[in-house]
Amino acid sequence: MGIIGKTLVSMATTLALMLSSPVWAGEEELNEAIIDYMDFATYESGIIVPEQMSKEVFESAYLVDTRDAEQFAEGTIPGAVNIDWREIPARVDELPENRMVILFCNTGSLSAQAAFAARLMGHENVLILQTGIIGWRENADYKPET
């Protein structure tokens, strides 16, 4: 893990400890931890667009549909698991650390919130499918036969 990765893990650990502490350190410290984390984020970091979802990417990624169970049941990207976007922080340990994790919702807005939380909690391998399942259906480079 590089220096940036170690720094992000350190900041995420600090943030997690602050939030889980029975005596919370305070809003100022929380704000500082978030700002420090965001200082390391590049404009394109943490996203993938449907056109980048080649067969190789699709087959190697862990796909997480962050929509609610009802929307998931109505149809999802083949092979995706369902973890509601609000549940990601509580279930972050279910996300593999040894491969790319792609979170998606309908358009990318709710999954972006979930990905932000996961990344703050030390999961640098989490990406957001920009434009969500709607964009994937329209523009994905690869769609498996269903």
* pLDDT tens, position by position, 86-108: 999 999 999 999 999 999 999 99
Whole-number Å distance between alpha carbons of 112 and 45: 12
How sure is the predictor about 40, in pLDDT bands with cuts at 50, 70 and 90?
Answer: low
What residue spans in the chain does CATH classification 3.40.250.10 cover?
A: 44-146
Task: Share the mean pLDDT of the chain.
Answer: 83
Burial class (CB in 10 A: 0-12, 13-18, 19+), 49: middle
**pTM, rounded to two decimals:** 0.75
Burial class (CB in 10 A: 0-12, 13-18, 19+), 60: exposed
Q: Evaluate if residue 109 carries a pLDDT over 60.
A: yes
Which residues are the active-site residues?
Answer: 105
Phi first, then psi: give them for residue 59, nearest 5 degrees.
-75, -20
One of 2.40.50.100, 3.30.565.10, 3.40.50.800, 3.40.250.10 is the CATH number of 44-146, namely 3.40.250.10
CA dihedral 43, 46, 49, 50 (to 10 degrees): 180
Extract the tokens encoding 19: 């939030």
Q: What local confidence, expressed as pLDDT, does residue 38 receive?
A: 62
- Rounded to an integer, the average pLDDT of 56-70 is 97
